[in-house]
Each structure stands twice: as structure tokens, then as C-alpha cells.
Amino acid sequence: MRHPDSRVTIHMAASLDGFIARKDGSVDWLETADEFAAGETIEPGFVEAFLKTIDCYVMGSRTYETALNFEAGGFGWSYGDKPTLVLTSRELPRIRDTVELYSGDLAHLVNERLRPKYRNIWFVGGGVVSGECLRRGLADEVRYSILPILIGDGIPFFERLDRDVALHLAEVKAYKSGMVELRYEVRGHRGQSQNAT
Ligand SMILES: NC(=O)c1ccc[n+]([C@@H]2O[C@H](COP(=O)([O-])OP(=O)(O)OC[C@H]3O[C@@H](n4cnc5c(N)ncnc54)[C@H](OP(=O)(O)O)[C@@H]3O)[C@@H](O)[C@H]2O)c1
């Protein structure tokens, strides 16, 4: 049985030309220096309160490896004490009890394990996992934070989409930093392609 309000969100930040990282995986360009005078300010405490509403995270192994490097570099762990599922076929280090390595069918993980237990399930990348989540019809919502920069080449937001995915624009916010946050609901329905490969 699934949680009555369970919701799967894909969220990442990307350059205006649609890349989440450079080809070599680097994300140095995420720090931008734009200013949009008419934009909203993120109030202190808002991010903290918002993050509390997320019940669990799902990520690909390459995103996890980036997170491990960030933490090793002294930049902390972005996922708090929330359960964090890492998709991988490898034996990667588990640096905290909240991290679980998962190898298996993604639809099974989402529908049989996560939806019954959690309300707000967040896919936080990268492009391979986000692409699979959409291709399999598992996502309810896409949050796309566009940063004011073009990087020309890199890892795309969604890998290997093999068909159109219709969306409904539900929210737009522009921030003082020049970042624009788009929230789309995935139209059509999840059930349709869950068994597609
Ligand atoms: N800008 C942003 O907001 C943002 C957010 C997230 C990530 N990133 C960046 O994006 C890059 C990583 O993205 P990516 O697209 O290259 O990789 P990814 O999606 O993070 O990870 C892909 C890997 O996950 C494993 N995997 C995927 N689906 C699986 C499944 N169903 N079962 C088991 N394992 C599965 C496979 O690796 P194995 O070989 O381990 O099996 C696969 O190669 C990093 O550079 C990261 O910094 C940016």
C-alpha cells in the first residue's frame, strides 16, 4: 500500500543550456555572481524549514561520489539525517547509517519500498537517474533551478529520454541571485510506463 500523499520530485540546478555538471563532473560554475534587483530573497530559516519537509533522498552513484568528495573537502553533507538511497551496482563506502546502497529495479524501489513509507521523496540527480525516473513514469514533479550561466557542454539534466514528457508549469520564482526556479507537474500518469525499460 502506498502513502496516500506520496510524491516523487526530481530536483537539480542546471545551467541555462541544460547541464548539471561539466563533462568531467565538476560543478564549480554553480557559484554565480549575478544580481536581479526584482528577484525574491531567500529568507533566513526558509531553506532549513523546507528541507525538513523532505522525507528521503534518492541519488545515483556518481552524485553520491560527488557528495562524498564535498564532505571530504569540508563542505558538509547536504542531506542531513534523512534516509538516502544510493543507486549502484558497486560496493561503495557507506559513510553514515542513513545511507543505503540499492541495486535493483527502480520502479520496485519507488513503488514498493519508498511510496508506502514516505510522503516527499526527492531524486537529487544526476542525469542518468533522473532520466530513468522519468522514462519509467515514476516522477510526479520536476523542479528545475536555472542558474544565470551557459557552460557549453556537460552532463545533461536528463539522460536518454526516449519520448516526450508533457509537463504542467505549476510555479515560477525568480531570485535576487539571478536563479529562476521552475516547478512542473508531470502530466499523464505514472502507471503507464512503469514496466518499460
Ligand atoms: N547541478 C546539480 O544540481 C547536480 C545534482 C546532482 C548531481 N550533479 C552532478 O551530476 C554528476 C553525476 O550525474 P550522472 O548523470 O553522471 O550520474 P548519476 O545519475 O549520479 O549516477 C549514475 C550511476 O548510478 C548508478 N545507477 C543508476 N541507475 C541505477 C539503477 N537503477 N540501479 C543501480 N545503479 C544505478 C550507475 O552506477 P554504478 O556503476 O555505480 O552501478 C550509474 O552509472 C556529478 O558530476 C554531480 O556532481 C549535479
Query: For residue range 66-85, what is the model confidence (pLDDT) as tens digits?
Result: 999 999 999 999 999 999 99
With a pLDDT cut of 90, the percent of the chain lying above it is 85
pLDDT bucket at 190, cuts 50 / 70 / 90: very low
- For range 44-52, the mean pLDDT: 90
Query: For residue range 5-38, what is the model confidence (pLDDT) as tens digits?
Result: 899 999 999 999 999 999 999 999 999 999 999 9
Residue 21 CB less than 6 A away from ligand 1: yes
The overall average pLDDT reported for the chain is 92
Query: How far, in Å, from the CA of 180 to the mean position of ligand 1?
Result: 24
- Identify the helix (H) or strand (E) that includes residue 190: none
CA dist., res. 188 & res. 168, Å (int): 10
Residue 124 CB less than 6 A away from ligand 1: yes
* Half-sphere exposure of residue 2: CA atoms within 13 angstroms, side-chain side: 16
Determine the pLDDT at residue 89. 97
Residue 107 CB less than 6 A away from ligand 1: no
Determine the pLDDT at residue 163. 85
What is the bridge-based pairing of β-strands 99-102 and 84-87? parallel
Query: How far, in Å, from the CA of 116 to the mean position of ligand 1?
Result: 24
pTM over 0.75: yes
CA dist., res. 111 & res. 91, Å (int): 24
pLDDT bucket at 194, cuts 50 / 70 / 90: very low
Determine the pLDDT at residue 2. 65
Residue 110 CB less than 6 A away from ligand 1: no
Bridge partner list, 10? 123, 142
Residue 132 CB less than 6 A away from ligand 1: yes
Residue 156 CB less than 6 A away from ligand 1: no
- For range 128-140, the mean pLDDT: 95
User: How far is the CA of 42 from the CAs of 73, 108, 160, 173, in angstroms?
Assistant: 26, 36, 34, 11
Nearest partner of 83 among 98, 96, 94, judged by Cα: 98
Determine the pLDDT at residue 129. 97
pLDDT bucket at 188, cuts 50 / 70 / 90: low
The cell for 25 is: 563532473
Residue 26 CB less than 6 A away from ligand 1: no
Query: How far, in Å, from the CA of 40 to the mean position of ligand 1?
Result: 31
Residue 177 CB less than 6 A away from ligand 1: no
Determine the pLDDT at residue 94. 92
DSSP per residue, 108-177: HIIIIIITTT-SEEEE---HHHHHHHHHTT--SEEEEEEES---SS-EESSS---S---EEEEEEEEBTT
Query: How far, in Å, from the CA of 41 to the mean position of ligand 1?
Result: 31
Nearest partner of 130 among 67, 87, 76, 192, judged by Cα: 87
Query: How far, in Å, from the CA of 118 to the mean position of ligand 1?
Result: 22
